[in-house]
Amino acid sequence: MSENEQSLDTDITTDAEDVRSPEEKLIQECDEMWKDIVECQNKLSFVGTETLTTSDAQLSLLNMHMRCLTAELNQWQKETPDIIPLDEDALVTLENEEFKKLKHDLELVLSTIQSKNEKLKEDLEREQQYLHEQQQILESLNLLHNELKQKVVTFSESRTFKELKTKLHDIKEYKEKLLISLGEFLEDHFSLPDQNAKKKKKNVQGSNAQLITLHEMLEILLNRLFAVPHDPYVKITDSFWPPYIELLLRNGIALRHPEDPSKIRIEAFHQ
């Protein structure tokens, strides 16, 4: 290697060291100052604390804070930071570093924008597909609407009224049939006791009240339920045969009053 080349390499190395050495020196000085601050804080933490009254506590804390700030100010006044030489080579190096950093940031921004654009493109395609499907559904509904408009049937109010009246009549007849069937069933399977049993019952209870059938008992309970729904309980009289009452209570058809056992009501199965 020639002397000129060696001299050129020496100059380049020296310039690079001149650019880096002030930064490293400043960082080193900052580290030393930080160590001094930490050492001062450690010394202050080991100082014995005195018991302060409530009136002097705030003043003592302010004095301690003032001493810390004064010590830090004196330390900064003793230091004289070196100024980085702003020669042409140093400026070029700093500009190159700034450009590299800016390029890296712009590449990140570009990558983020591209990914967002891809996602927006996918969303747009999906929304277009959805719009196309909705348009097809709308066309189908319009066709169906036109077909229904062409098949309009004239509405007859009187005819509809007659149909409803006929249905209501049929329902009433069906209801009457059900009641008759229920009465016959109860009369066949739940008849009142014979006359001898009645006489014995009357002698035991000492009452001349005539017993009513299970059918009549259910009618009384049902009429009470629908006539007075807020108080559907019926007073048990001597005309209620006790075995029928027990039958209704045991099978969950009737319920006894929670406070007055002499009253019962029929279960509201329709609710």
pLDDT of the residue at 80: 67
pLDDT of the residue at 40: 76
The answer to whether the Cα torsion of 38, 39, 42, 48 is positive or negative is negative
Mean pLDDT by 10 residues, the chain (271 residues): 45 47 75 80 63 64 83 77 65 84 90 91 92 93 85 66 90 88 82 56 53 87 88 90 90 89 85 68
Distance of CA 259 to the CA centre of its chain: 44
- Between CA 253 and CA 262 the distance in angstroms is 16
- Between CA 199 and CA 174 the distance in angstroms is 39
Q: Which of 249, 223, 250, 246 is nearest to 234 (CA)?
A: 223
pLDDT of the residue at 156: 64
pLDDT of the residue at 131: 93
| Domain positions in the chain | 102-150, 157-189, 193-271
pLDDT of the residue at 50: 52
Concatenated DSSP letters of 193-209:
P-HHHHHHHHHHHT--P
Residue 161: exposure state from Cβ atoms within 10 A (0-12, 13-18, ≥19) = exposed
Q: Which amino acid is residue 8, in one-letter code?
A: L
pLDDT of the residue at 206: 46
**Sheet of strand 234-235: strand arrangement:** 234-235, 263-266, 254-256
Q: Which amino acid is residue 109, in one-letter code?
A: V
Kindly state the tokens that stand for 251: 């099978």
DSSP code for 265: E
Query: In the block, which residue shows the tokens 């049939």?
Result: 177
User: Coil, strand or helix: which one is 142?
Assistant: helix
